[in-house]
Structure 1
Amino acid sequence: MLLKKITLHTILLLFLAGCGDSSAKKQIGEQVKSAEKDTTQIDSLTSIQEEEKFLLTEENAIDFFFDYQKDLKVNKVKLTTSMGSFTVQLYDNVPYHKANFIFLTRKGYFDGTQFHRVVKNFIIQGGNADDKATPEKRREIGRYLLPPDTRKGYKHHRGTLSMPSSEINNPHMLASPYEFFIVVTNPGSYHLDGEYTPFGKVIQGMEVVDKINKVRVGKGDWPFQNVYIEKAEVLE
Structure 2
Amino acid sequence: MQLKKFYSLAILLLILVSSCGESPKKNESKETGQEVQKDSIATDTIEKEKEKFLLTEENAIDFFFDYQKGLKVDKVKITTEFGSFTVQLYDDVPYHKANFIYLTRKKYFDGTQFHRVVKDFIIQGGSSDDSKTAEKRNNIGRYLLPPDTRKGYNHHRGTISMPSSEIDNPHMLASPFEFFIVVTKPGSYHLDGDFTPFGRVIEGMDVVDKINNVEVGDGDWPHQNVYIEKAEIVK
Structure 1 and Structure 2 fold alike (TM over 0.5): yes
Q: What is residue 177 of structure 1 aligned with on the other side? A: 176
Distance in structure 2 (CA, Å) of the matches to 1:112 and 1:83: 15
Distance in structure 2 (CA, Å) of the matches to 1:158 and 1:211: 14
Question: Residue 229 of structure 1: SS of its match in structure 2?
Answer: coil
One-letter amino acid of the structure 1 residue matched with residue 49 of structure 2: E
Deviation, 1:219, is 1.5
Q: Which moved more, 1:72-81 or 1:49-58?
A: 49-58
Q: C-alpha deviations, 1:39-81, integer Å up to 9, x for none?
A: 7777666555444331111111111111111121111111111
Question: Residue 157 of structure 2: SS of its match in structure 1?
Answer: coil
Question: Residue 229 of structure 2: SS of its match in structure 1?
Answer: strand
**One of 29, 47, 52 as aligned partner of 2:49:** 52
Q: What is residue 218 of structure 2 aligned with on the other side? A: 219
Distance in structure 1 (CA, Å) of the matches to 2:91 and 2:121: 25
Same amino acid, percent of matched pairs: 75
Distance in structure 2 (CA, Å) of the matches to 1:55 and 1:125: 25
Q: C-alpha deviations, 1:90-130, integer Å up to 9, x for none?
A: 11110110111111111111111110000111100000111
Q: Which moved more, 1:44-53 or 1:126-135?
A: 44-53
Distance in structure 1 (CA, Å) of the matches to 2:169 and 2:39: 44
Distance in structure 2 (CA, Å) of the matches to 1:148 and 1:111: 25
Q: What is residue 76 of structure 1 aligned with on the other side? A: 75
| 1:149-168 equivalences in 2 (<5 Å) | 149-168=148-167
Larger radius of gyration: 2
Superposed CA RMSD in Å reads 2.4
Q: Which moved more, 1:191-200 or 1:214-223?
A: 214-223
Question: Residue 190 of structure 2: SS of its match in structure 1?
Answer: helix
One-letter amino acid of the structure 1 residue matched with residue 170 of structure 2: P
Q: C-alpha deviations, 1:109-158, integer Å up to 9, x for none?
A: 11111100001111000001111111111111111111000000100011
| 1:1-236 equivalences in 2 (<5 Å) | 49-53=46-50, 54-236=53-235
Deviation, 1:34, is 9.7
Q: C-alpha deviations, 1:150-170, integer Å up to 9, x for none?
A: 000100011100000101132
Deviation, 1:194, is 0.3
One-letter amino acid of the structure 1 residue matched with residue 128 of structure 2: A
How many residues end up aligned between the 2 structures? 217
One-letter amino acid of the structure 2 residue matched with residue 224 of structure 1: H
Question: Residue 220 of structure 1: SS of its match in structure 2?
Answer: helix
Runs of 4 or more consecutive aligned structure 1 residues displaced over 2 Å after TM superposition: 31-53
